């Protein structure tokens, strides 16, 4: 069921709250005189409530409670998962600057949910466990890669500051080792989930007979997903070939996430009865 305009408006409100929270956080990070306050966290909480409201409303409207049954639902769920991951990380072992990267990613996911939900809505017709596992593992893998992407960006930022020998401002960035570990953890979890997603996708393709006519070779979604898999395999290769650690690993995690976004967009646009 196509999301209603009211549901879209609620998601817009969530985006607005997130944008305000991001602005407050960046302003505090760049200027020493801005005192710490609870406002950014409050706006993030309001955004979470708005997003959850829109999601539950949509589920009630279509009278189905399985997540990721359509693209609006899936993208909105993904944004909530990324938000929850960020909140968990900041609550347990805060990483300075993590919300600067993650909040725009969440806003981007919600905007794409609104856009593709209205303009190019499609139902996934999740009828089998394989299908559901395929969708869920791919989207959750994307959430983990988002964390790796943020870790990679922050690593490059911290590394640049250290190479330029700049004095840190009122708050020091997280250590390079911590950021490298964060990136690595995101890549390990995301890679495992993506592998499950690819395997279940192959199973579904065989069930639908898509391998018979080689249609999968022309599907950008599949090609891009495989490219993402190779990129992150290189990142995980670092213990064997240590020249892939550090700066290279950070760049690969950024490039891999960018390709992942393209794969998600391709999955939205390309859904015309091709390989599911």
Partner 1 sequence: MHRLLVLGMNHATAPLSLRERAAFSAEQAQAALTDIQQRYAAEAVIVSTCNRVELYLARPVHAQPRIEQLHQLLADLKGIPVVEVQAHTYNHTDHAAAQHLFRVTCSLDSMVVGEDQILAQVRQAYELAHKSGVTGPILNGLFQRALACGKAVRTQTALAEGRLSIASVAVDHARQIFEDFSDKTLLCLGAGKMALLLLKHLRELKPGRLIIANRDAAKAAVVAEQFGGSPVGLDRLPEALVSADIVLTSTHSAEPVITHAMFEPLCRARRFRPIFFIDIALPRDVEPAVGELDNVYLYNIDDLQTVVAQTQKTAGRPSAPPRRSSTARWPSSPRGSVPATSGLSSTSSMASSTLSPSRKPAASPADCPMPTRPAPISKSSPAVSSTNCCTSLSAPSARTPPPPRRTRPRGTICTR
Q: Residues interacting with partner 1, by CB under 8 A?
A: 32, 158, 162-163, 165-170, 172-178, 181, 242-243, 245-247
Shortest distance, CB of residue 94 to partner 1, whole angstroms? 13
> In the bound complex, what is the minimum distance in angstroms from residue 183's beta carbon to partner 1?
13
**CB-nearer residue toward partner 1: 122 or 248:** 248
Q: Where are the beta strands (DSSP E) in the chain?
A: none
Of 166 and 272, nearer to partner 1 (C-beta) is 166
The tokens describing 27, both together, are 């302003």
Considering beta carbons, is residue 106 or 254 the nearer one to partner 1? 254
Dig out the tokens for 13 from the structure: 């409100």
Cα separations (Å) of 173 from 62, 168, 170, 177, 228? Answer: 45, 8, 10, 11, 28
3-state secondary structure (DSSP) of residue 97: coil
Angle between helices 176-208 and 220-236 (to 10 degrees): 140
Shortest distance, CB of residue 102 to partner 1, whole angstroms? 20
Q: How far is the CB of 139 from partner 1 (least distance, A)?
A: 30
Sign of the CA dihedral running 55, 59, 65, 68: negative
Residue 70 phi/psi, 5° resolution? -145, 170
Q: Decide if 100 contacts 107 (C-beta within 8 A).
A: no
When the beta carbons of 247 and 270 are compared against partner 1, the nearer one is 247
Three-class secondary structure of residue 245 per DSSP: coil
Q: How far is the CB of 154 from partner 1 (least distance, A)?
A: 12
Compare residues 75 and 182 and give the one whose CB is closer to partner 1: 182
What whole-number distance in Å separates Cα of residue 68 and Cα of residue 135?
7
Nearer to partner 1, 176 or 233 (CB): 176
Closest CA to 105 of 150, 140, 139, 135: 150
Q: How far is the CB of 249 from partner 1 (least distance, A)?
A: 10
């Amino acid at each position: 069921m196509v999301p209603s305009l009211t549901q879209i408006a609620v998601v817009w409100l969530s985006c607005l709250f997130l944008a305000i929270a991001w602005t407050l956080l960046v302003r505090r990070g760049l200027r020493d005189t801005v005192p710490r306050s609870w406002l950014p966290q409050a706006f993030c909480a309001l955004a979470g409530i708005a997003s959850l409201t829109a999601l539950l409303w949509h589920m009630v409207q279509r009278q189905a409670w399985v997540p990721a049954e359509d693209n609006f639902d899936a993208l909105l769920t993904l944004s909530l998962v990324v938000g929850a991951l960020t909140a968990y990380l900041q609550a347990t072992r805060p990483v300075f600057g993590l919300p600067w990267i993650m909040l725009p990613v969440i806003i981007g996911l919600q905007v794409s949910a609104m856009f593709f939900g209205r303009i190019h809505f499609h139902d996934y017709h999740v009828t089998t466990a394989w299908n559901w596992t395929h969708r869920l593992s791919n989207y959750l893998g994307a959430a983990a890669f988002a964390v790796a992407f943020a870790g990679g960006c922050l690593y490059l930022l911290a590394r640049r500051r250290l190479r330029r020998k700049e004095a840190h401002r009122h708050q020091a960035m997280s250590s390079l080792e911590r950021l490298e570990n964060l990136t690595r953890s995101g890549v390990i979890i995301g890679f495992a989930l993506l592998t499950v997603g690819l395997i279940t996708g192959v199973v579904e393709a065989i069930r639908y007979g898509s391998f018979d006519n080689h249609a999968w070779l022309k599907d950008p979604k599949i090609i891009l997903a495989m490219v993402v898999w190779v990129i992150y395999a290189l990142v995980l290769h670092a213990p064997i070939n240590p020249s892939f650690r550090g700066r290279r690993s950070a760049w690969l995690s950024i490039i891999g996430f960018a390709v992942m976004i393209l794969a998600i967009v391709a999955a939205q646009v390309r859904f015309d009865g091709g390989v599911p």
